[in-house]
Structure 1
């Protein structure tokens, strides 16, 4: 028998091969065209999210610098592709966040003698009227497979993408109005991965604001490290800043110098923040103490119990308080001893540690043989400090007719603030009552307002008093009313500690109360909720009244809410 061939299955086999080939071609086409397109879109979205995370990191740095403590932020430094069963992804991109470009911010041609506290001027003068602060830039460096996103930098609050012309993502905080805010970055941050968890740690938060002006005829200058040129700073970073005269190339490579208007007072705030990985140990040490300022008056009188409280604040190079620093108080005055509490034996010297507000506190205690004498406070455990490391207090017996509360001289010692005399709700004016508790009339001749912002840094947004054609300051109801009116359209009283004269002196009679009104804050654009406090360490706003005999009385206001 002869068998015949059978090819009936060949068409099925050929069809299967063609179908498989078609599938392979489709997958290859998808791999070559669709997968890169999808992954590119994922990377683009990741880049946008990472830019937002860097802005959030910048905000955390600024919040930490302002005293809000340690904060944590997660930055999406990479991108994550979806799993593909029959297709292949590139390696997952892993970007990085790092501190880089170490340099120095230099504040030049400054004079600190206009500050509320005498020690500031001496410190600035000892530094040659130039203050240097080391810092670094913060950089996010993406490493995508398909997208070519530019690096993102943070410098003095300004966040930008580093293209040929910078693309801003958040505005600068260096110069705003008459306020200079220098936020330096420390630490050796270098984190990479799909996402990184970071921590901002305060090294020195700018809880203090000091007033500075130009030392010589030239402008106040701020020289800072940057990758941007002077044109970028003029046209983009500082565009619209009224107090900026010009930005020029700096004296060092990769620096610019910002020139500010001269013959003006500027409020200076300086802070240092460490950036590190969330699980890393801190590497930056506390800056230590640099100088002392008096938190009680230089000339004080004993209370009725023959004691008076003396407070010296220890500050670092950033002008901020430092805790746990040794301060030695000593006196050689006959009949005067020092003690840190009523339970300790008085002695002619005491070494105390500064508290959380940087304040070192002793009590001067007198006996019957005491008339007057001085107490010296020195930063450290000996008495060989430099001029800026020492402050002195002159203690004396109260004069006849003085209230003797240790808060000024004869007239100032008779004045006390009246509890619960501030507004219960937010207000555009500073309003409080004072009382003359002495046996003689007192005359108020001058006043000043400053915004130390020791508990609420938002109080520093108060920069002027202006009530247009009405008196900005009124002292009424105590006997003879007094007032001060800054004449002219648009003129105002600055709240930078500048002392102004009353147009009409106010007389507060013995045993009388007077109401003090200072209006309107920032021309009515600012409302504060506040109350009185006896502790200067809690003062956000300080009002100083000067009397005819040259003595003073400080009124401390603690701000609980800011509405601008």
Structure 2
């Protein structure tokens, strides 16, 4: 005797349950693994875009500081990001990022008055911190003519840098002002202002050392910054956010390249 209508109906139900179960498992696996992987790629691309923004900011800071211009420049930094909408699948909330200035510190020149040369001795840095939902990416930092990546494990990678010592000239890069923490997903225009003067230098100065406010450890200064033509110099730790550059001998021209955050330096 062949299958009855009841048997065929039961088979259809079993088949439907199996197909539904397969689809449910596939959906769960896609949501659990594929979506996060795709979001990780999107986060990585956004981080590369922010690196480009910070590199543009670095370039504007260096260009303005090495000029006598008093012009103001707005540099956009894309703080955060949105994940693309997906039919049927769930996405995390937008990922916000933040940027702020670091703690203030003072430039000190052994053998000269930094305030007289620079028009002020206070200096700071800038820190961009991402807060992604899937990946962990390191902070991006600017200070003292340096742009670098700082990872949680203490490792640092230099992205851009200007030399402290060029021949018989000492170059100091000063960033004055304060930027309170700005967080969000939007693009933030950062305003930097040039010095408006070319009288930020001194000649024939007998310099013994230079003390800088820095989050970059002395060891990293020695390994990544004070190399090549600057290898006669070495950095020592003064405290958690201060290093002293030693090894100078003789007379130098000292040039202070200053810009301000939303104000004249």
CA gap 1:131/1:157 in 2 versus in 1, 3 angstroms: same
CA RMSD of aligned residues (A): 2.8
Alignment TM-score, normalising by the size of structure 2 = 0.84
Aligned to 1:168: 158
2: distance between equivalents of 1:175 and 1:265? 9
Match of 1:76 among 75, 78, 81: 78
Work out the number of aligned pairs and report it: 256
Helix, strand or coil for the counterpart of 2:227? Answer: coil
Match of 1:247 among 228, 235, 245: 235
Alignment TM-score, normalising by the size of structure 1 = 0.42
CA gap 1:189/1:58 in 2 versus in 1, 3 angstroms: farther
1: distance between equivalents of 2:181 and 2:252? 39
Match of 1:265 among 247, 252, 262: 252
Query: Per-residue CA shift, 1:507-554, capped at 9, x if unaligned?
Result: xxxxxxxxxxxxxxxxxxxxxxxxxxxxxxxxxxxxxxxxxxxxxxxx
Helix, strand or coil for the counterpart of 1:9? Answer: helix
2: distance between equivalents of 1:41 and 1:189? 30
Correspondences of 1:19-418 after superposition (within 5 Å): 19-65=19-65, 66=67, 67=69, 69-110=71-112, 133-163=121-151, 164-177=154-167, 178-202=169-193, 204-205=195-196, 207-215=198-206, 219-242=207-230, 244-250=232-238, 252-259=239-246, 261-274=248-261, 282=262, 284=263
Verify the 8 A CA contact 1:107 1:131 in the aligned structure 2. no
1: distance between equivalents of 2:174 and 2:187? 23
Helix, strand or coil for the counterpart of 1:16? Answer: helix
Q: CA deviation at 1:25?
A: 0.9
1: distance between equivalents of 2:120 and 2:247? 17
Gap regions ≥5 residues in structure 2: none
Helix, strand or coil for the counterpart of 1:90? Answer: coil
Whose helix fraction is larger, Structure 1's or Structure 2's? 2
Query: Per-residue CA shift, 1:432-461, capped at 9, x if unaligned?
Result: xxxxxxxxxxxxxxxxxxxxxxxxxxxxxx
Helix, strand or coil for the counterpart of 2:83? Answer: coil
Verify the 8 A CA contact 1:79 1:194 in the aligned structure 2. yes
Whose strand fraction is larger, Structure 1's or Structure 2's? 1
Verify the 8 A CA contact 1:94 1:142 in the aligned structure 2. yes
2: distance between equivalents of 1:236 and 1:226? 14
2: distance between equivalents of 1:181 and 1:92? 39
Query: Per-residue CA shift, 1:143-198, capped at 9, x if unaligned?
Result: 11121111111111211111323101111354333142322231224222224222
CA gap 1:183/1:28 in 2 versus in 1, 3 angstroms: same
Query: Per-residue CA shift, 1:99-132, capped at 9, x if unaligned?
Result: 12221122221289xxxxxxx9xx67xxxxx986
Helix, strand or coil for the counterpart of 1:101? Answer: coil
Verify the 8 A CA contact 1:76 1:195 in the aligned structure 2. yes
Verify the 8 A CA contact 2:125 2:142 in the aligned structure 1. yes
Report which structure shows greater RCO (CA 8 Å, sep ≥6). Answer: 2
CA gap 1:244/1:69 in 2 versus in 1, 3 angstroms: farther
Verify the 8 A CA contact 2:104 2:124 in the aligned structure 1. yes
Helix, strand or coil for the counterpart of 1:204? Answer: coil
Q: CA deviation at 1:49?
A: 1.8
CA gap 1:214/1:37 in 2 versus in 1, 3 angstroms: same
Q: CA deviation at 1:205?
A: 4.0
2: distance between equivalents of 1:84 and 1:92? 14
